[in-house]
A and B are shown apart, each in its own frame.
Chain A
Amino acid sequence: MIRIKCPFCGERDHSEFSYGGDATVEYPALDASVEEWNKAVYQRANPRGPHREYWHHLNGCRSWLIVERDTLTHEVGTAEFAHPGLTEALK
């Protein structure tokens, strides 16, 4: 059972979260080309080892988090707010 340290709620079971996809993807502007959007939506790496993922604290504070997880060992590292201003705002 993966445990994730939500920066707002503390360490919780993964059952409180839902996986939200690859956090290394940079989504293009809404008016970007088909090619750029195609790359963002479909051209994904499948890395073996450390990875950055979105996890949504669905049954908690509802923060979207960026979680470091090793796809090989399931080891979970840091978890931080996906929203760039939130950490500062909560200080």
Chain B
Amino acid sequence: MSGYRLDNGGLIDRSEPLSFIFDGKSYSGYEGDSLASALMANGVDIVGRGFKYHRPRGIMSASVEEGGAILTVGAGRFREPNVKAPTQPLYEGLIATGQNAWPSVQRDVGRINDVFKRFLAAGFYYKTFFGIRKGTKDWMIFESFIRKAAGMGRASREPDPDKYETAHASCDLLVVGSGPAGLATAKAAAEMGKDVILAEQDFALGGSYLSRAGGIGEAVAAINGLREAGVTILPRTCAFGLYDGCVAGMIEQVTDDPGLHGVRQRMWVVRPSEIVLATGALEQPLAFGNNDRPGVMQANAVRTYLNRYAVSPGKRAVVATTNDAGYETAHDLAMAGVPVTLLDARDMGPDAPEGVKVMRGMVPVRIKGSHKVEGVEIGMLDDEGYAKARDTLSCDLLAVSGGWTPVVHLTSHRGPKPVWNDDIHAFLAGPTNEPIRCVGAAAGVYDHDACIASGKAVAAGEAGPVPQAGAHPALPLYEIKSREKKFKRFVDPQHDVTADDIRLAEREGFVSIEHNKRYTTLGMATDQGKVGNVIGIAIMADASGRTIQETGTTTFRPPYSPISIGALAGRGTYMHFRPVRKTPLHDWNMRHGAVMTDAGLWKRPWYFPRDGETVDDAYIREMIAVRSTIGLCDVSSLGKIMVQGPDAGDFLNRVYVNGFAKLPIGKARYGVMLRDDGVVYDDGTVWRMSETDFLMTTTTANAAGVMAKLEEFLQTRWPDLRVQLTSVSDQWAGVAVAGPKCRDVLAAVTVDCDLSDEAFPFMGIREAKIAGADVWIARISFSGERAFEVYVRGGKAEAVMDALWDAAKPMGGELYGTEALGGLRIEKGHVAGSELDGRNSLQDMGLGGMASSKKAFIGKALTQREGMLADDRLQLVGVAPVDSDKRLRAGALLDSRADMVDHGLGFITAVTDSPELGHWIGLAMVRGGLAEWEGKELTSYDPVRDGNTAVRVMSPHFLDPKGERMYG
């Protein structure tokens, strides 16, 4: 119990106490606390357990780089794992639990791993499981063990109850970070008239202002200045990635308690003209013995807890530093009344702050204490970087400053690799041509006033800062090696990677930093190497006798900090993930008992069950009605494109394989179009309404694609054609009126419309009126029966449908859906989406005769390729079971051999029970087609459903091959 609250100061509201629960125990903190500062103020030392060895872990930092205090926040379906306690603002009723520990972080039985630690060295998993074959039972047992042991907190298995949204913004300048440099940049730019957005990942604005004694007042003044200058300020908003075109992705934590309808997180997509990164620098740890014990912290974080949260992390402190930063921490600790000794690894440095004992040339060698810091053994470095313990200092806090690493992750997202700077021993952003600049500590400038100056200069368009070593240059020290008994020296505390792991991996041949990282998992935890990366590289450089520049750094990729998938999805979940398209007759269909099915984004009636009917009962009844009396079907989802202009006929002639230029006015024609490569693309009918007006229908699935393709032809290939295209798919509703009584139905609802064969022949079109609405009627048939399709404006669709249904119902008519529609087209051998799978030629579909020999059309040339004409291509056939009681299954494979070879000779694409024929039938694609197989038997292989069924191959035109029903 080391940490405690100070009596005065801090950016906390002592009049607003908040209670919270950690691992089942109740505590209290204040408004303005982070979860970490509140735990610390309550004297909680051990807040988590290590990932591999389950060693006790405490709070190490005050921000996103936290490697120790990683907790699960919330309960039940609201639980969120891997929350870094310093980034979580405290709120009333917060529930947090420790991770990687059972039964609790205080008494974790998994710590036995620490005793067997030699088995868990670098590459442990790779080596241990090398001999086990993946997919075997052994592997599965081990895998479940690994997954359990390696888990870093558990997400709720329930659907995410939180709401998210996406916001878009544009501005002249985006500033990331609200420390001295960021605030100075934003203010200067706003005063020059620029539209500025400033994002700060922390829940409090001010960055390093808040860590300084007296800095809170300065921060408040600076932020008020920004508000006056009109800057848009987004606190608790993490810029997680930079993308092409100077676009930034940011996640705003809107609130922790969104209530029933509120938004918890908001994703910002910001498109600034310029970006300034004032992302600061991360303080580096040092690798020495047991440096992961609770009580070892970043020196600068100690200042943050003292000054921002008014919490002292310890009662007796030692500060170990390689640079001047440690002096400020020692000073602030002394001011708070904490006895403090400063170890400076250098032989020189600033004067000792008041009340601080400075020991120069001294480094920490090993922490004493098995669960938390009880003291530190100190010593002097020899020429080879080893140190021997010569003294022990008693303390409960060791504040460490191993120098600074500028946060260059975001520039790295754009490609430029960070470049090592020997003056300040740090990686800086690589050069870029994009309008992205770094200021302040992100540019390697650590002095407070210099940070402010750099922000002003860059805002004014002047050169960025040049980092300088200063009067007392930092000592590039990363690890304090020891020749004595080995203690773990952690490099990446989150993934439990030690200095020895990195050396071991290097000895084993992982000499590339990218390989070493993956083998040891260095920097692959949720902090993405914020803490351990540079030390890891330095240790590798040392082990391989290279410089850090030669060793290089790994690539930083988005996101800078972990983000929830929900935030990326925004509102695009469930039904909002894909829009639902409803036809103008959707409600009418629903009122008449339709069961709906999805056809792409469309909802279409699948079948119309009567009391207790299954889908099979219903579609058979619907098919019988179409064949014997009359059926009505909503076909509004078909693509409909108006093709207009003096060259429209010529255009259609080029697009379809068959001729359209000479299509008479008042007639429709079935057409097929190919792709450039000769493969069948789409089919439909085209109606000629006047010399220059055509209505093209497409399949439901290809409506958008055909439109885009036609636009491409007109704009890129044939710009001289005078043709206008308009999609009218959503404007017009369509109803198929199919069956022997279709004339009777239309006669009942139209006036002065001669429906006789002479006046209205097959493929004729004409205008008429139904229920007072203007309609187009075409005599076309998909079912093979005599049929019409009636097209009407969407707004009048229900009235027209009512009239048609009132006429059809007394005649024994039925409504039919896509299931019956499919059955009817299979009986006729009409191809549809399941056959047109993007691989077939016209000949494969049995439509070779449609292609005009008198004109050229898209795809014609490449249909003449040898492979497109081969006899053994998959070609359309019909199949029926030899035993007529058997059913067929779409997707079943076909073969002639007793045991199927590879994928057989073909497959069944679509099946239906045919009430007309009294048995099941199917369409299939078979190698060699009818020429090879007509009248012969094949076996349908369907091992997971019905097993094997003998089928006979026949013409796909099962019913009325001459079309007497349609024409008659």
Where the two chains meet, the residues of A that have a C-beta atom closer than 8 Å to any C-beta of B are: 1-3, 13, 18, 20, 23, 27-34, 36-38, 40-41, 54, 56, 58, 62-64, 73-74, 76, 81-86
Contacts and interface: CB of A to CB of B under 8 A. Distances in A.
A11 B858 CA distance: 33
A56 B245 CA distance: 19
A61 to B, nearest CB: 11
B708 A18 contact: yes
Contacts, number: 72
The residue among A23, A34, A36, A84 with the most chain B CB atoms within 10 A of its own CB is A34
Given A30-B856, A74-B244, 13 more contacts: A1-B245, A13-B271, A20-B712, A23-B716, A31-B856, A34-B861, A38-B865, A41-B676, A56-B708, A56-B711, A64-B711, A83-B714, A83-B715
Contacts of B860: 30-31
A82 B716 CA distance: 6
A76 B415 CA distance: 16
A83 B861 contact: no
A73 B618 CA distance: 58
B730 to A, nearest CB: 15
A65 to B, nearest CB: 9
A37 B711 contact: no
Contacts of B864: 34
B328 interface: no
Interface in B619-666: 654
B157 interface: no
Interface string B855-875: 011101110110000000000
Q: Give the 10 A-B residue pairs with the shortest CB-CB distance, closest first.
A: A30-B856, A3-B245, A37-B861, A31-B856, A64-B715, A1-B247, A83-B715, A82-B716, A1-B243, A74-B244
The residue among A2, A64, A85 with the most chain B CB atoms within 10 A of its own CB is A64
A3 B666 CA distance: 47
A38 B677 CA distance: 8
B161 interface: no
Given A64-B711, A84-B719, A37 B245 contact: no
Interface residues of B, number: 26
B712 A54 contact: yes
B268 to A, nearest CB: 13
B269 interface: yes
Contacts of B715: 63-64, 81-83, 86
B483 interface: no
B862 A41 contact: yes
Interface in B701-758: 708, 711-712, 714-717, 719
A11 to B, nearest CB: 8
30 contacts: A1-B244, A1-B269, A3-B244, A3-B245, A3-B247, A13-B247, A27-B676, A28-B861, A29-B856, A31-B856, A31-B860, A33-B861, A34-B862, A37-B862, A38-B861, A40-B676, A41-B862, A54-B712, A54-B716, A56-B712, A58-B708, A64-B712, A64-B716, A73-B415, A74-B244, A81-B715, A82-B715, A82-B716, A83-B716, A84-B719
Contacts of B719: 83-85
Contacts of A2: 244-245
Contacts of A34: 861-862, 864-865
Contacts of A62: 711
Contacts of A27: 676, 717
Contacts of B865: 34, 38
